[in-house]
Amino acid sequence: MKINVTRSSMPSFEEYCEEIKDIWESRWLTNHGKKLVELESKLKEYLGVSNIVMYTNGHLALEAAISYFNFPKGSEIITTPFTFVSTTNSIIRCGMIPVFCDINDNDYTIDVTKIEALITNKTVAIMPVHVYGNVCDVEAIEKIAKKYHLKVIYDAAHAFGVRYKGRGIASYGDISMFSFHATKVFHTIEGGCLCFNDDSMKLPLEQQKDFGIVDAEHCDYAGGNAKMNEFQASMGLCNLRHIDEYISNRKKAVELYRKRLLGVNGIRLLEPQEDVLSNYAYLPAIFDGYKKSRDQIKEELAKHDICARKYFYPITNEYSYSKGKYKRDTPIAKSISEKVLTLPLYSDLSIEEVDLICDIVLDIK
């Protein structure tokens, strides 16, 4: 069987069928149904957040977060290019200008020492990205945001269930977005959510994802449609029952990768962050000075039906639509993007498969 870079965690067929059985009885398929309400409640508890609004996917949730603040068109949002393209696209699609800040070489999150130099009179927000499950320097970011009166919108797509100093990671900043895409640690097939502390944000964000509708006869503004349906929510309810098992299995795979690859000349793995309870979302390896290049290793793995991914490559300010258009002095992000390879990691990746992957990487001539 081909070993993909990731593979969706799923409950048993019987468990999912049992979960969706009453949908046939109610015929309530979407529009804030019973399954969604239940999932929202359980996720609030699991994530340790005050408020949550569910979306049909994480990208629309991120756009909703930006739109909520009603920033003037052409405002600047400081972010990082070392991310999936959705982060950058959400800023541009909302009529804002992405200002790219470089990352640090330790955990590949935004370099907080370089943020202030990028702030102008057009800056309205910072959009940091928690990368591979590694968390940003949330305390330094909060300090900068308060000093310059900026909003903080976290792209936490990789950080589901991560805790920092005992707090759910989504309790930091003004809003955090989680992706529940099928490839994530926790998924609802497609899906996402926004988490926030300010109770007054709840109703406007709910209305925004439902056309701006207030009730059957009133619509306050031209909102969109980003509602999560009951089948997605049902998959989420099933997966949430098993999430601790999923993360525990991923941890075992990561520990074996580290045992086999840590300390090998030319291979660098991320170090665990202090005070962070990880979700073991990804296994990025930097190949720098190794006997073969990142691309050669990827090709060798592919010969054995093993799919590794150059994630993230290219960085988003190198894409054709953004290259040369936005500020992009990000040499560390570019350098890391040219050397990083994420190795297969998912809940049911076996110890034997991890050993096979490591054998191929280490034995390559």
Q: What is the DSSP string of 246-297?
A: HHHHHHHHHHHHHHHHTT-TTEEEPPPPTTEE-----EEEEESS-SS-HHHH
Predicted pLDDT at 215: 86
> Closest by alpha carbon to 339, among 266, 258, 254, 262?
266
Residue 309 gets which letter from DSSP?
Answer: B
> Closest by alpha carbon to 42, among 182, 245, 281, 243?
243
Predicted pLDDT at 18: 97
63-118: pLDDT as tens digits: 999 999 999 999 999 999 999 999 999 999 999 999 999 999 999 999 999 999 99
Predicted pLDDT at 324: 80
> Sheet holding 267-269: strands in order across?
267-269, 283-287, 340-343
Cβ 10 vs Cβ 239: under 8 Å: yes
Helix (H, G, I), strand (E, B) or coil at 232: helix
Provide the pLDDT confidence category of residue 220 given band limits of 50, 70 and 90.
Answer: confident
141-196: pLDDT as tens digits: 999 999 999 999 999 999 999 999 999 999 999 999 999 999 999 999 999 999 99
13-237: CATH number: 3.40.640.10
Helix 351-363, helix 294-303: angle, nearest 10: 130
Domains 13-237 and 243-363 share a fold: no
Percent of the chain with pLDDT over 90: 94
Provide the pLDDT confidence category of residue 351 given band limits of 50, 70 and 90.
Answer: very high
> Closest by alpha carbon to 226, among 68, 359, 7?
68
Q: What span, in angstroms and rounded, lies between the C-alpha atoms of 230 and 171?
A: 26
Q: What pTM does this model have?
A: 0.96
Predicted pLDDT at 16: 98
> Closest by alpha carbon to 253, among 353, 362, 132, 360?
353
Predicted pLDDT at 97: 97
**Any idea which fold 243-363 has?**
Aspartate Aminotransferase, domain 1 (3.90.1150)
Domain range summary for the chain, segments of one domain joined by +? 13-237, 243-363
What average pLDDT does this structure show over 18-36? 95
Mean pLDDT of the chain: 96
5-25: pLDDT as tens digits: 999 999 999 999 999 999 999
